[in-house]
Amino acid sequence: MKKQASFIFSPDQLNYEFSETHPFNQKRIILTKDLLEEIHAIQPDEIVVPRSATDEELLLAHDAKYIEIVKKASKGEVSENIGSIYGIGTEDTPFFPNMHEASALLVGGTLTAIEEVMEGRSRFALNLGGGLHHGFQGKASGFCIYNDSSVAIKYLQEKYGARVLYVDTDAHHGDGVQWTFYDDPSVCTFSIHETGRYLFPGTGNVTERGNGKGYGTSFNFPVDAFTEDESFLHIYRTALREVAEFFKPDVILTQNGADAHYFDPLTHLYGTMKIYKEIPKVAKELAEEYCDGRWIAIGGGGYDIWRVVPRAWSHLWLTMKAIPAPTGALPEEWLKKWQPESPVSLIETWEDPPNLYEPVPRKKDINEKNEQMLTRALHVIRNGS
Amino acid sequence: MLVLDIMKNDVITLNSTHTIAEAVHLMQKKKIRHIPIIENDRLIGLVTDRDVKEAAPSSLSDELETLLYETPLSKIMKTDLIIGHPRDFIEEAALLFYTYEIGCLPIVSNYQLVGILTKTDLLYNYIELTGANQPSSHIQIRVPNQPGILFEVSKVFHHHNTNVLSVLVYPYQDDESYKILAVRIKRMNPLSIIEDLKMEGFQVLWPSEPEMNL
């Protein structure tokens, strides 16, 4: 019988660990899974153990030379000077033992998720270990070694001949995926993020629309710093609906960085739990409308792993399972179990407390700028030129 | 950086005996607004979209059509030209654009037309100079306007083994005792660097709270 959803998980996904103090911390996967288990939202038969990506699969989106360097770095055989040419051994993306194996497992997890859906075993699939959208063909960048989305999209094209809509709601621009498919008209990349005027990686302007045959299949929606729920969601809903209608995908792959939240230490957006409740709903709706329901979701950024990510990511799974979003208090057991480890006071309810932050003085300007940006970004499809 | 690094080398040109209509068609087809007029590879004039519009004030009249097809460009081209050299610095070229309010600069060397630089090319080049075309984060720091400060700031980047992609120095409002450094660094996580900059006593203006006017 076809499952409603598959939860791709193995404790080995936590081996992708740069150091104890690095902001990218996969413990958030455990925290999320544990929260979902506390509310009895996951059954054991829904958990699928990820496989590792083969070299051949990694080669779909990465250079042989780069894979070879990562393998050597895995065994501690690469100097910092050589590593930095390939973006590894840097403060952002340091070396760590067995980094090749750990990275290949995250890619394999996303491939496993795709197989679950495309082979008809499951309606939806979720791999929280994936979403490493900054990885380039021959270079690591911004905490990302191999780019699971890029490999997975190539895999979807080659094995299933699918037209893919990639949707990236991480607060950072999904540059690695965009550049990989910049010339390809059968893949549409969609990224909503904090403007690159200040934030890493700096790209993701509305003027980046694709190149050559792929012109018109890259979409970027850079929102201003301090953008709040209402404006963020308005841009996301309007834009994604119009882009899906325009592109008519066979399958939707969503990258679900949870770093657009007010608490996130690395970004400057003022999102709350409301956007994380809403983001998966729209993705699922559109997948049902255009793709016969084929929707695969992966993780991404998210650096407040205690107060933000577990609650935010839970909504992905709950939406897949069509379980109504819980409200009110979080399970007491979960709070009791994790509060001692958390350096900050956990939020005790599914919703964020009211008045999370001081009102933003330039709110009107910010919303107005975002609205203008939306019109510019969608001009191509609305006016057909 | 020199003009030859950013100018366009294949220049679309016409002769003075070509007609206005030919110039109009070429401008439309190639999406350009300036056509240098040459004779034996020598630059003798320039026709811009404005010259063409002045010669043909209304595109609705049929009588003018004939006129367009008969008038040679020699009648409307400008011959008193501002030109540049391939080894000019782009700052010098930028000043020419600003001073003479021109839209393009034909580049001439050894009496021959070797390239063309438009306002748009120049603007794009300035965008690239800000370093926004490589994965990086942007930090703005207010520093005292004193010799040696850049060295002090860059020690922090050095300490964190971080590549700096671009540095711009701005005046700070009307206060001459400070400057603003706008730095693009090859880092996704700038938090430890920002902390150290603050520890060294520098004021980090961005990242900031929303009250700050950017």
Tens-digit pLDDT profile for residues B6-59: 999 999 999 999 999 899 889 999 999 999 999 988 999 999 999 988 886 666
- Which of A316-320, B82-86, B121-125 ranks highest by mean pLDDT? A316-320
| Nearest CA among A92, A88, A56, A290 for reference residue A172 | A92
How close is the nearest chain B Cα to the Cα of A267, in Å? 9
Are B191 and A197 a contacting pair at CB < 8 A? no
Q: Do residues A77 and A36 touch, judged by C-beta distance below 8 A? A: no
Six token digits for residue A170? 């991480």
The domain A3-383 having CATH identifier 3.40.50.300: the answer here is no
Number of alpha helices (DSSP H) and beta strands (DSSP E) in chain A = 12, 8
- pLDDT of B62 reads 57
Is B158 an 8 Å CB contact of chain A?
A: no
For domain B3-127, the question of CATH label 3.10.580.10 is answered with yes
Cβ pair B161:A268 closer than 8 A: no
Cis, peptide link before residue A353, omega less than 30° from 0: no
Residue ranges of chain B that CATH labels 3.30.2130.10: 137-206
Q: Is A384 exposed, middle or buried (0-12, 13-18, 19+ CB in 10 A)?
A: exposed
**pLDDT band, very low/low/confident/very high, at B214 (cuts 50, 70, 90):** very low
Chain A (259-278) residues lying within 8 Å, Cβ to Cβ, of chain B: 265-266, 268, 270
**Buried b or exposed e, range A195-228, using 16+ CB within 10 angstroms:** bbebbbbbbbbbebbbeeebebbbbbbbbbbbbb
Whether B213 has a pLDDT exceeding 50, the answer reads no
Q: Which helix (H) or strand (E) holds A235?
A: helix A229-247
pLDDT, tens digit only, all 385 positions of chain A? 899 999 999 999 999 999 999 999 999 999 999 999 999 999 999 999 999 999 999 999 999 999 999 999 999 999 999 999 999 999 999 999 999 999 999 999 999 999 999 999 999 999 999 999 999 999 999 999 999 999 999 999 999 999 999 999 999 999 999 999 999 999 999 999 999 988 999 999 999 999 999 999 999 999 999 999 999 999 999 999 999 999 999 999 999 999 999 999 999 999 999 999 999 999 999 999 999 999 999 999 999 999 999 999 999 999 999 999 999 999 999 999 999 999 999 999 999 999 999 999 999 999 999 999 999 999 989 987 5
Structure tokens at A185: 């008209």
**Mean pLDDT computed over every residue of chain B:** 89
Is the link from the previous residue into A201 a cis peptide, with omega within 30 of 0? yes
Asked if A335 contacts A291 with a C-beta cutoff of 8 angstroms, the reply is: no
CATH number of B137-206: 3.30.2130.10
Put simply, whether B162 touches A (Cβ < 8 Å) is: yes
* A143–B contact, CB cutoff 8 A: yes
Is the entire prediction scored with pTM above 0.80?
A: yes
User: Å from A78 to nearest chain B CA?
Assistant: 17
Q: Where exactly are the structural domains of chain A? A: 3-383
| A22 carries an active-site annotation | no
CB pairs under 8 A between A and B: 68
Determine whether the interchain pair A200/B207 forms a contact, defined as Cβ–Cβ distance below 8 Å.
no
The confidence score (pLDDT) of residue B212 equals: 44
| CB-closest option in A23, A142, A196 to B132 | A196
The one catalytic residue in A62, A133, A134, A315 is: A134
Q: Which residue of A has its CA nearest to B131?
A: A202
